[in-house]
């Protein structure tokens, strides 16, 4: 494959090790399913042991109506294979229906077969042996299947996560598990597990994807009202010691709206859908038990959701986007930033036309020389986004108040302002994070009365490197449209 002047060749484990010398490695452990082109599934089709019991077969006439569907696609996929009625006879061609939660190419594994569990645990440890420090459990909520059950969040699934956590604690205690469960918040945080006997730590994942953050951040910036976001953030309970939320608002997948159910109303969710479609995106749907469908995720780049591609605003588009990143970076937990968010990528309609998959809108491939030329142009929004986000990251890294275990208190400073106070667990100064989610300037009272801020003197803004209301005793703080401020007490 070629891209620009570069030719890309398949890598090997030595290349992975080399990458790990420059940072911590997160491996994606696709535990629920496997490609139909894999050696395991091809051996299954030939009827070879032990693989003929590695996958789940079901009768299309069975009542599968209770199964929770993340896609509006058939749950069962017919495949042809071989069988030998008697050892001496030639194989006969048969059709079987296998379980495919996500698509016909992704065949679900049968964890009711202990051999599957052992083989997949071996894969997990293989990743650890090659440098994995964080392991992402992809689509883990759907792992166990029982006909007549919803087949999501089943006790057996949690038991498997507990097993893998126990294995890693025994042989690689520094390796962390992170669960990817695009579901409502209460179900999502269940994958932290229960407290381990005699400790404050929990027995499942050390991190969970904080899926509700994305649709709530989008809603706040769409409406200019952070009320829903602030109320939700105020209800977040700190995870157990050693655990943290994995905060993100964009990824290689779409922006899930299911995690906003129960927090946003139906009309508010539909508002997100309407904005997506108006800005050139798509809305993917899932099948419901009653045969209807409902929106599952928004397929659009974060930049194009927030900013209208048909009416670019050179003054507000980049600040609006950076406001979303400031919200992400202000919250307690570990932030995850999608590569396209580094540059404010726009929808790739050519990618969508090529694949026919809505997610391709948000998966443009980079041509390095072309990207470097774009980032060298100070007039481009990509350069402004890149510079602004790098600055936020540098500032965040230097402040103990942004440690994942630092305390978080959400404050009500008006509907247009998202306000959270971060207080470090040990030495270090508190930081009051303010983000104006609206297109109108906001004036708020000087936050000296907020408990824990300790700013009887002047206030300093880390982002702008200024003192808003620099004079001692200033009565108010000004926030321009979509401006973010990280405020600390100035040193006398």
- Active-site positions read 138
Residues 6 or more apart whose CB falls under 8 angstroms from that of 484 comprise 322, 323, 326, 330, 392, 433, 434, 435, 436, 463
Half-sphere exposure of 67 (CA within 13 A, CB side): 22
CA–chain centroid gap for 43, Å, is 34
- Helix, strand or coil, per DSSP, at residue 299: strand
The shares of helix, strand and coil residues in the chain, as percent rounded to the nearest 5, are 35, 20, 45
**What Å distances lie between residue 236 and 141, 245, 405, 453, CA to CA?**
21, 10, 13, 21
Q: Decide the pairing of beta strands 207-210 and 176-179.
A: parallel
| Residue 20 DSSP SS3 | helix
CA distance 199 to 362: 42
Contact 401, 422 (CB under 8 A): yes
Distance linking the first and last C-alpha atoms of the chain: 59
Q: Residue 461 forms beta bridges with which residues?
A: 466, 487
Q: Do 222 and 272 meet the contact criterion of CB atoms below 8 Å apart?
A: yes
Closest CA to 295 of 186, 140, 182: 182
**Consecutive H or E run containing 36:** none
Q: How far apart are CA 223 and CA 144, in angstroms?
A: 40
- Tokens describing residue 410: 């959400």
Instruction: Return the number of other C-beta atoms located less than 10 Å from residue 466's C-beta.
Output: 12
Q: Describe the crossing of helices 213-223 and 317-330 by its angle, rounded to 10 degrees.
A: 140
Beta strands in 228-310, from DSSP E residues, in sequence order: 244-247, 255-256, 282-287, 293-299
User: What is the secondary structure of 415-471 as a DSSP string?
Assistant: TTEEEEEEE-SSSS--EEEEEE-SSS-EEEE-GGGSTT---SS-EEETTTTB-TT-S
What are the residue ranges of helices labelled H in 2-60?
13-20, 39-45
Our CA angle for 124, 141, 219, nearest 5°, is: 120
SS3 of residue 491 by DSSP: coil
């Amino acid at each position: 494959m070629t891209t620009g002047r570069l030719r890309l060749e398949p890598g090997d484990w030595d290349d992975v090790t080399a990458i790990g010398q420059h940072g911590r490695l997160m491996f994606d452990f696709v535990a629920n399913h496997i490609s139909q082109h894999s050696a395991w599934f091809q051996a299954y089709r030939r009827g070879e042991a032990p693989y003929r019991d590695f996958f789940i077969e079901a009768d299309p006439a069975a009542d599968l109506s209770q199964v929770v569907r993340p896609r509006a696609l058939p749950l069962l996929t017919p495949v042809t294979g071989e069988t030998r009625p008697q050892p001496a006879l030639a194989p006969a061609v048969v059709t079987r229906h296998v379980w495919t939660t996500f698509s016909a190419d992704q065949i679900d594994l049968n964890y009711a077969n202990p051999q599957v569990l052992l083989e997949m645990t071996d894969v997990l440890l293989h990743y650890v042996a090659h440098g994995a420090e964080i392991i992402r459990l992809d689509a883990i909520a759907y792992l166990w299947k029982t006909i007549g059950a919803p087949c999501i969040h089943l006790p057996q699934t949690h038991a498997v996560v507990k097993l893998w956590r126990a294995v890693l604690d025994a042989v690689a205690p520094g390796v962390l598990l992170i669960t990817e469960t695009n579901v409502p918040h209460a179900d999502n945080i269940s994958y932290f597990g229960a407290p381990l006997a005699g400790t404050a730590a929990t027995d499942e994942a050390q991190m969970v994807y904080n899926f509700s953050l994305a649709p709530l951040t989008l809603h706040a910036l769409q409406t200019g009202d952070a009320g829903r976001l602030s109320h939700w953030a105020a209800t977040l309970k700190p995870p157990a010691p050693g655990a943290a939320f994995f905060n993100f608002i964009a990824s290689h997948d779409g922006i899930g709206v299911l995690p906003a159910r129960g927090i946003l109303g139906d009309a508010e969710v539909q508002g997100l859908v309407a904005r997506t479609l108006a800005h050139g995106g798509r809305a993917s749907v899932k099948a419901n038990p009653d045969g209807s469908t409902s929106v599952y995720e928004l397929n659009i780049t974060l930049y194009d959701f927030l900013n209208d591609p048909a009416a670019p605003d050179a003054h507000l588009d980049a600040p609006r986007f950076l406001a979303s990143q400031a919200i992400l970076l202000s919250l307690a937990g570990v932030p995850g930033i999608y590569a396209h968010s580094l540059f404010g990528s726009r929808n790739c309609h050519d990618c969508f036309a090529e694949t026919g998959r809505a997610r391709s809108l948000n998966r443009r491939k980079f041509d390095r020389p072309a990207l470097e030329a774009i980032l060298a142009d100070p007039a481009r929004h990509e350069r402004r986004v890149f510079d602004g986000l790098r600055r936020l990251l540098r500032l965040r890294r230097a402040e103990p108040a942004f440690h994942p275990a630092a305390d978080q208190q959400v404050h009500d400073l008006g509907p247009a302002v998202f306000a959270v106070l971060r207080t470090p667990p040990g030495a270090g100064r508190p930081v009051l994070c303010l983000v104006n989610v609206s297109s109108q300037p906001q004036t708020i009272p000087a936050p000296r009365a907020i408990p824990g801020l300790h700013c009887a003197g002047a206030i300093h803004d880390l982002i702008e490197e200024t003192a808003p209301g620099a004079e001692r005793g200033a009565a108010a703080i000004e926030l321009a449209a979509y401006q973010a401020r990280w405020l600390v007490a100035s040193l006398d």
